[in-house]
Chains A and B, each alone.
Chain A
Amino acid sequence: MDWFKRTKQTLKSVPKTELPDGLWVKCENCGEIIYKKELEKKLYVCPKCDFHFRITSKEYIRILFDEDSFKEINANLMTVDSLNFKDSKPYIDKYMATVKKTGMKEAVVTGTAKLEKHDVVAAIMDFKFLGGSMGSVVGEKVARAIDKALELKVPLLILSSSGGARMHEGILSLMQMAKTSAKLARLAENKIPYISILTNPTTGGTTASYAMLGDIILAEPDALIGFAGPRVIKQTIGQDLPPGFQRSEFVLEHGFLDMIVHRHQLKQRIAGILDFFAHKNPH
Chain B
Amino acid sequence: MAKKKQRFVLEFEKPIVNLEEKIAEMREYALASGLELEDDIKRLEKKASQLRKEIYANLSRWQRVQLARHPQRPYSLDYISRMCSYFEELHGDRRFADDKAIVSGLAKLEEFSIILIGQQKGKDTKENLYRNFGMPHPEGYRKAMRLMELAVKFNKPVVTLIDTPGAFPGIGAEERGQAEAIAYNLFRMARLPVPIINVIIGEGASGGALGIGVGDRILMTENSWYSVISPEGCAAILWRDASHAPEAAEAMKVTAPDLLKLKIIDEIIKEPEGGAHRDYDLAANVVKEAILKHLRELVKIPPKKLIEQRMEKFSKMGAWKE
**Residues on A facing B (Cβ under 8 Å):** 1-2, 4-5, 74, 76-83, 85-88, 135-137, 139-140, 143, 165-167, 169-179, 181-186, 188-189, 204-205, 207-213, 226-229, 232-233, 236-237, 241-242, 245-246, 254-256
Name which residue of chain A comes closest to B264, CB basis.
A171
Interface pair A87/B251, CB less than 8 Å apart: yes
Interface pair B207/A205, CB less than 8 Å apart: yes
Convert B207-221 into 0s and 1s, putting 1 for each residue whose CB lies closer than 8 angstroms to a CB of A: 100110110000000
Chain A residues whose C-beta falls within 8 Å of the C-beta of B177 in the assembled complex? 212, 254-256
Q: Please list 5 pairs of residues, one from A and one from B, whose beta carbons are closer than 8 Å in the complex, sorted by A's number.
A: A5-B240, A83-B252, A178-B190, A226-B179, A228-B170
| The one of B179, B311, B315, B320 that contacts A207, using a Cβ cutoff of 8 Å | B179
Interface pair A208/B182, CB less than 8 Å apart: yes
B155 at the interface (CB under 8 A from A): no
Task: Say yes or no: A176-B318 contact (C-beta < 8 A), given A170-B253, A209-B183.
Answer: yes
* Distance between A241 CB and nearest chain B CB, rounded to angstroms: 7
Interface pair A233/B180, CB less than 8 Å apart: no
Chain B residues whose C-beta falls within 8 Å of the C-beta of A167 in the assembled complex? 228-229, 234, 237-238, 252
Interface pair B186/A177, CB less than 8 Å apart: yes
Interface pair A205/B318, CB less than 8 Å apart: no
Interface pair A77/B320, CB less than 8 Å apart: yes
CA distance A88 to B235 in the complex (A): 11
Interface pair B206/A174, CB less than 8 Å apart: yes
CA distance A246 to B170 in the complex (A): 11
Name which residue of chain B comes closest to A2, CB basis.
B237
Please name the 9 residue pairs, one residue from A and one from B, whose CB atoms are nearest each other, closest first: A228-B169, A136-B318, A182-B190, A181-B186, A207-B179, A170-B252, A227-B179, A82-B319, A175-B317
| The one of B171, B213, B226, B229 that contacts A237, using a Cβ cutoff of 8 Å | B171
Interface pair A77/B321, CB less than 8 Å apart: yes
B239 at the interface (CB under 8 A from A): yes
Q: How many residues does chain B have at the interface if contact means C-beta atoms less than 8 Å apart? A: 57
**Residues on B facing A (Cβ under 8 Å):** 167-171, 173-180, 182-184, 186-188, 190-191, 206-207, 210-211, 213-214, 226-229, 233-234, 237-240, 247-248, 251-254, 258-259, 262, 264, 310-311, 314-315, 317-322
Interface pair A207/B183, CB less than 8 Å apart: yes
CA distance A139 to B167 in the complex (A): 21
Interface pair B184/A212, CB less than 8 Å apart: yes
CA distance A242 to B103 in the complex (A): 31
Chain B residues whose C-beta falls within 8 Å of the C-beta of A207 in the assembled complex? 179, 183
* Distance between A126 CB and nearest chain B CB, rounded to angstroms: 17
Name which residue of chain B comes closest to A87, CB basis.
B238
Interface pair A83/B183, CB less than 8 Å apart: no
With a 10 A CB-CB cut-off, give which of B188, B206, B211, B251 has the most chain A CB atoms: B206
* Distance between B255 CB and nearest chain A CB, rounded to angstroms: 10
Task: Say yes or no: A233-B228 contact (C-beta < 8 A), given A76-B322, A77-B322, A177-B210.
Answer: no
Interface pair B179/A212, CB less than 8 Å apart: yes
Interface pair B174/A227, CB less than 8 Å apart: yes
Name which residue of chain A comes closest to B259, CB basis.
A171
Chain A residues whose C-beta falls within 8 Å of the C-beta of B251 in the assembled complex? 83, 85-87, 170
CA distance A169 to B238 in the complex (A): 13
Name which residue of chain B comes closest to A188, CB basis.
B187
CA distance A94 to B179 in the complex (A): 29
CA distance A209 to B186 in the complex (A): 7
Name which residue of chain B comes closest to A78, CB basis.
B321
* Distance between A259 CB and nearest chain B CB, rounded to angstroms: 16
CA distance A236 to B137 in the complex (A): 14
CA distance A80 to B253 in the complex (A): 15
Name which residue of chain B comes closest to A209, CB basis.
B183
* Distance between A56 CB and nearest chain B CB, rounded to angstroms: 22
Chain B residues whose C-beta falls within 8 Å of the C-beta of A82 in the assembled complex? 262, 319
CA distance A33 to B206 in the complex (A): 42
Interface pair A228/B173, CB less than 8 Å apart: yes
Interface pair B179/A137, CB less than 8 Å apart: no
